[in-house]
Copies of this chain bind each other. A is one copy, B any other.
């Protein structure tokens, strides 16, 4: 029986750990705020531990899905962190979206301690996590990857090894770069349609099969037009991802003018009170600007 530990029971980690429990693994969970761990134990079979170090002590595989670089350092290297408790040869899989830099740092520390490390950010959102249909982009050793792939498959539709540690994160960054261009373009298009007096629903009906089509258009235009943003991928998280991306670009020399601009736009949305709004709320910013003029 494979024993696993899951660190971080947010909107993503909660159902992901749940899929592992339902698939028959012995799961020990840890969450910074213990109430979430209690709620998880009310729903799923498993045990909880008061610190990462205690959660991981018997685990063959340890999963983490926390907030950002600092949270990840805390849960791995901090006092009572996971790395000080893991047994030799155990595998640490990080599902958090963080910098490629911290992934490589942690992989290096893990190697020194006889541990394996994979970076494995996900896409597909809360719904993907709940349905067990995430896309997982993995960086790390291929032998380790092939060993843990069937475990991750319990909550993923697609698990792909993208190269050495850090490449999972870099792949997720490409995803976000493409997405923000799409979202801002769609927001500008819908905004233009509205101020021009067009019927935006009808416009989307006409243009959504051609060269302007996107997943965002298909899945977000209705809520954007309705000004409904209480769902999906929060602006705070998108902005965090964009900061990571722009830091990486300043290291590797990539030219990302629109990504950089849209990062500022998300800062504006935060100032409007939209921290928890879906990332499609860039339209709300354009509308606010338009009203001011």
A interface, CB within 8 angstroms of B: 100, 123-125, 135, 137, 158, 160, 162-163, 167, 170-171, 173-186, 188-193, 195-199, 202-203, 205-207, 209-217, 219, 233, 245, 248-249, 252-259, 261-262, 265, 286, 289-290, 293
Establish whether residues A171 and B206, one from each chain, have CB atoms under 8 Å apart when the complex forms: yes
CA distance A239 to B289 in the complex (A): 25
Q: Please give the distance in Å from A99's CB to the nearest CB on chain B.
A: 12
Select which of B197, B210, B249 is within 8 A of A215 by beta carbon: B210
Additional pairs, 15, CB under 8 Å, beyond known A171-B206, A174-B196, A191-B254: A158-B209, A160-B202, A167-B196, A170-B196, A173-B192, A175-B211, A178-B185, A178-B188, A178-B214, A181-B182, A181-B184, A181-B186, A181-B188, A255-B289, A258-B261
In the complex, the answer to whether B261 meets A188 with C-beta atoms within 8 Å is no
Question: Do the beta carbons of B210 and A124 come within 8 Å of each other?
Answer: yes
Chain A contact residues: helix, strand, loop or mixed = helix
- Cβ distance A290 to chain B, nearest Cβ, rounded Å: 5
The interface residues of chain B lying within 8 Å CB-to-CB of A190 are: 174
Chain B residues with CB under 8 Å of A217's CB are: 178
Could you say which residues of chain B place their CB within 8 Å of the CB of A174?
Answer: 189-190, 192-193, 196, 198, 203, 207, 212
Most B C-beta atoms less than 10 A away, residue of A124, A192, A193, A202? A192
Which one of A173, A183, A185 has the highest number of Cβ atoms from chain B below 10 Å of its Cβ? A185
The docked-state distance in angstroms from the alpha carbon of A21 to that of B181 is: 42
B177, B191, B197, B262: which contacts A255 (Cβ < 8 A)? Answer: B191
Whether A185 touches B193, Cβ cut-off 8 Å, given contacts A206-B137, A212-B215, is: no
Contact A160 B196 (CB under 8 A): no
Q: Which residue of B lies closest to A245 (CB)?
A: B192
Evaluate contact between A181 and B175: CB separation under 8 angstroms: no
CB distance from A14 to the nearest CB of B (A): 21
Which residues of chain B come closer than 8 Å to A193, judged between CB atoms? 170-171, 174
| In the bound complex, CA of A162 to CA of B200 (Å) | 10
CA of A167 to CA of B174, assembled, Å: 36
**Bound-state Cα–Cα, A207 to B178, Å:** 9
In the bound complex, CA of A182 to CA of B188 (Å): 11
A158 to B256, CA, bound (A): 36
Q: Which of B175, B195, B214, B245 contacts A253 (CB 8 A)?
A: B195
